[in-house]
Amino acid sequence: MSPQTRRWDARAAASRPRSTCELKGSRWQFEHIAKKDAELLDTLKKAAMQVTEADQEAFRKATAPAYDAFYQRFGQDARDFIEAIRKL
């Protein structure tokens, strides 16, 4: 699949209305993955693995210019796509 096709598919997915089933399925998937990640992290910590937690706010600030460049290059469709993902 070409980069242009992937961009078109992403734009189409971001702009089309979501069905109730699709939203519930997406939400369940994110919640399930978050639960499994937490379980795995707990298992690794119990096995004496040292885990470093990132400062999420500092990460957001550090990556903001990349988002700005992305929005500038790909326009409002890109912003809408990212916002749709954040709402899941």
Quick check: 8 pLDDT over 60? no
> What's residue 59's pLDDT?
93
What is the domain partition of the chain in residue ranges?
A: 19-51, 54-88
Find the helix packing angle between 56-74 and 76-87, rounded to 10°: 140
> What's residue 30's pLDDT?
86
pLDDT band of residue 85 (cuts 50, 70, 90) is: confident
Q: Are 88 and 27 in contact (CB under 8 A)?
A: yes
Mean pLDDT of 59-68: 93
pLDDT band of residue 24 (cuts 50, 70, 90) is: confident
How many whole angstroms separate alpha carbon 79 and alpha carbon 88?
15
> What's residue 3's pLDDT?
61
Classify the phi-psi angles of 48: left when phi > 0, otherwise alpha if psi is within -120 to 50, otherwise beta.
left
Mean pLDDT of 24-37: 89
